[in-house]
Chains A and B, each alone.
Chain A
């Protein structure tokens, strides 16, 4: 049988990879993808915890549903922003965009 621990470790490594991607890459779209990876890692955790620790309750799964919803929204708006910035400034590398400094 697969133990809870196994799922958790898988999720941790998936998250670590996502984190690395979000930090190491400069292409905004790639960063979005990395974020999706992290969200998935979180979802695995949620579902695993729910199924193992609170059998019969679906709270964790409900959370996962919401996370997926938010991810969809985030992807839509995020891509729109990226495209807009790319169109207006001609760059897509986040290290060249430091609007937040002002």
Chain B
């Protein structure tokens, strides 16, 4: 089956084409096409996973472009299937399938329903293509396609200016990261002449690549990952991306978009692993992001925003895991996170569906109205907080363990602090939304449990959030699947485990004290920590900084360039005039170096000559004839005199 793994992305591609071309004629605008094709892809992906787990694999290479005939340069495309690919294929198709199923209920009645399903299929296709890519260029192509799909989905409610802005922001921000990725490709290509992962690995293994090339190439690729995986400092698009429909958020956050960045690093891990400097930067960015995003999440009041920042934070963990040299742990966290983050978003969607608001201060006590949603949320929340035996615990613990044993223990402590904050804000959300007294009775009265299409995915994911971690570790399944020769076998460290679990429990306790009981006065805390509160509330002013330092200057530059271009004409005329004056007074040099300059000079000259000569063009035949005759006579005389 692995030989034909291209079928997996082909199915959603087909579904996209079908829905795009014939959505008006399909029942329910083609939603069932999308769901069934994705389900088929999921089944196929499971088959591939099973095969790969039993030692199969595939690598198919096709020529893509050949340049030159004497010493031809060949660029190939192809796909490869190994453990990393297989697990990602399963996760992506699985989450995508559940999200599409869920959307049946959530998006029901949307006016661009068909288009929504089409784009979801396209999104899935791009992500699957990315996962299968066997070289950097193919990966880059799908990387960009993922960006476009997210752009379309985030901008789904394009009547809203905020959605428009968010869509553009997502695309541009990730594209800035892609610039780094692209430059990384350029560096590696010009040094090695190949972009295929296996060839790069071989070359690096032989030591045929200069260390600085590896480091710069890796850092470039890291740029792409930072953009897509919303790492600091390119994280700004992800919270805004909440403008998209909630199931899309689930998809973006769990399986497709943001996972792409982490996957990129994992896929090109041989490059990173060969460069300690690059790995250090990876770890640093991961740790900083994990902590930084967690601080912001603690003060957000929009339910989806909290989850968004928590995603950024968790992605930081994954990147940290990769950075400290543990590929398996990073990918493990990616997988478990896919389960519980998709779950959390879908429950959030369910809550929003029921209450028609995202503002947590208008909720409260909803567990009575929405029991399935509430319970599954708690399962996801505990997994997020990393409490044993939930899924998140295993993966987070693994990352922290590696960090603890790495060269830079500071990253470990940052991770612990972030874990504490994670538990705190998760508890905060749980209490604000599901427990306590309803704060908006009107909304509370109208709140209702969601239809089965929405709750079934919740239950499936809920179960996985509880047992997923342990399940994947059964028989060392996961570590065998994604194997990267670790420097040393790490034995479980009770201190690390204790600290991780302890910080999580402490976070829950603090959250309970603040939100579950009235023991701590929130206003007093806010007042005491007011500068910090403001800082977190305004997301460390990163958006403002970018606006001021990048967006405005670029727009200003564009306006300036446009002005120069449009007014070059005037400028030149004036310049010519001024230059004439300057020349006549013997004062200065002639300056025509403005756009349009020389040409307009010629034009002006032509006009002047035209003015002078137009008098002769009276339109009278005889005048022309006279001129002709005189010229002939003059020519005759000249010819005679000169020619002798």
Contacts and interface: CB of A to CB of B under 8 A. Distances in A.
Nearest to B622: A23
B586 to A, nearest CB: 43
Contacts, number: 28
Interface in A12-64: 19, 22-23, 26, 31
A101 B629 contact: no
B632 to A, nearest CB: 9
Given A19-B629, A23-B629, A94 B622 contact: yes
A100 B621 contact: yes
B626 A102 contact: no
A100 B618 CA distance: 8
A100 B619 contact: yes
Interface string B615-644: 001111110011001000000000000000
B625 A23 contact: yes
Interface string A72-102: 0000000000000000000000110111111
A102 B622 CA distance: 16
A99 B619 contact: yes
A95 B629 CA distance: 18
Contact of A101 (B619, B622, B625, B626): B619
A23 B617 contact: no
Interface residues of A, number: 13
A4 to B, nearest CB: 18
B635 to A, nearest CB: 15
Contact of B619 (A19, A22, A23, A102): A102
Contacts of B618: 98, 101
Contacts of B625: 22-23
B626 A23 contact: yes
A43 to B, nearest CB: 18
Contacts of A19: 629
B617 A101 contact: yes
Contacts of A102: 619
B617 to A, nearest CB: 7
B248 to A, nearest CB: 65
Contacts of A31: 621-622
A42 to B, nearest CB: 13
B104 to A, nearest CB: 71
A95 B618 CA distance: 10
Contacts of A101: 617-620
Contacts of A22: 622, 625
B622 A95 contact: yes
B620 A95 contact: yes
B294 to A, nearest CB: 79
A18 B539 CA distance: 95
A22 B619 CA distance: 16
Nearest to A95: B620
Given A23-B625, A26-B622, A98-B618, 19 more contacts: A19-B629, A22-B625, A23-B622, A23-B626, A31-B621, A31-B622, A94-B620, A94-B621, A94-B622, A95-B620, A95-B622, A98-B619, A98-B620, A99-B619, A100-B619, A100-B621, A101-B618, A101-B619, A102-B619
Interface of B: 617-622, 625-626, 629
26 contacts: A19-B629, A22-B622, A22-B625, A23-B622, A23-B625, A23-B626, A23-B629, A26-B622, A31-B622, A94-B620, A94-B622, A95-B620, A95-B622, A97-B620, A98-B618, A98-B619, A98-B620, A99-B619, A100-B619, A100-B620, A100-B621, A101-B617, A101-B618, A101-B619, A101-B620, A102-B619
Interface of A: 19, 22-23, 26, 31, 94-95, 97-102
